[in-house]
Chain A
Amino acid sequence: MTFRHIAQIAGSAMNAQSVRLNTIASNLANAQSASGVESATYHARKPVFAAVMGDPTGAGAGVQVLDVVQSTEPLRRAHEPDHPLANEEGVVFYPNVNTVAEMTDMMAASRAFETNVEVMARVKTMQQSLLKLGEG
């Protein structure tokens, strides 16, 4: 049935967008988590989305989160010998989180989430009016 498929598609999209919001929250929360070791420093996390072709006609696809990958952008190095976490050269590593980019990504993610909520609401009214078919 078409309407159940729509609910599944919109639901999968909402799920994917909330994973995206989760990574954004994690990135923003850890934007200032300094470390003295480069490999132990927090790296920005990004979800990877992919379409799921659910039916043989391939005309309706949900979304799945394939993986959450770590950003390969270079870390921010700061020379702060007074910092308690500084290594022997006095260097502190800060995460490669771009706060401005994360904020815009957050807006995009929440807009996409809301759009799918709207789709669900509209489909619900369509289904309800279809149930009243023939009543007058």
Chain B
Amino acid sequence: MGIDFDKALGVHPDALRLRAERTRILAANIANESTPGYQARDIDFAAALHRSAADDDAGGLSLDTDGPADALYRVPNHPSQDGNTVELGSEQAAFSQNSSDFQTSLTFVNMKIRGLAKAIAGQ
């Protein structure tokens, strides 16, 4: 019986990819902090997870990060006159939280790989 690496690693590689994608979107929001008319975007991670869980029937979850529908527009707390919806404080907080989540997913993947290595070595 062979080891299916995709199944063995579970949802974590997909979560890691989604976190990296979200980093890019948040970096773009921070970059366009002073661009008039720029509308901040974000991924709803929980919704993406739920949607793929509902679609999927064969156990492992797969997150679809390709579709443009995944990146939604942020609703600003205080709309500004120039039409820019970036609020630097919340973007920085989201960016910081997201990079911690990235490290968490990375740690999970590492743990899975260590487990697999042990199984392969037969310890």
Contacts and interface: CB of A to CB of B under 8 A. Distances in A.
A62 to B, nearest CB: 6
B35 A63 contact: yes
Nearest to B39: A51
Nearest to A136: B114
The secondary structure that dominates the B interface is helix
Contacts of B95: 119, 122
A113 B109 CA distance: 34
Contacts of A125: 99
By size class, the interface of chain A is: 35 or more
By size class, the interface of chain B is: 20 to 34
A16 B38 CA distance: 15
Given A119-B95, A126-B23, A134-B113, A50 B35 contact: yes
Nearest to A118: B92
Contacts of B24: 2, 5-6, 9, 59-60
Interface string A45-68: 000111100001111111100000
Interface of B: 20-21, 23-25, 27-28, 30-38, 41, 66-68, 70-71, 88, 92, 95-96, 99, 102-103, 106, 109-110, 113-114
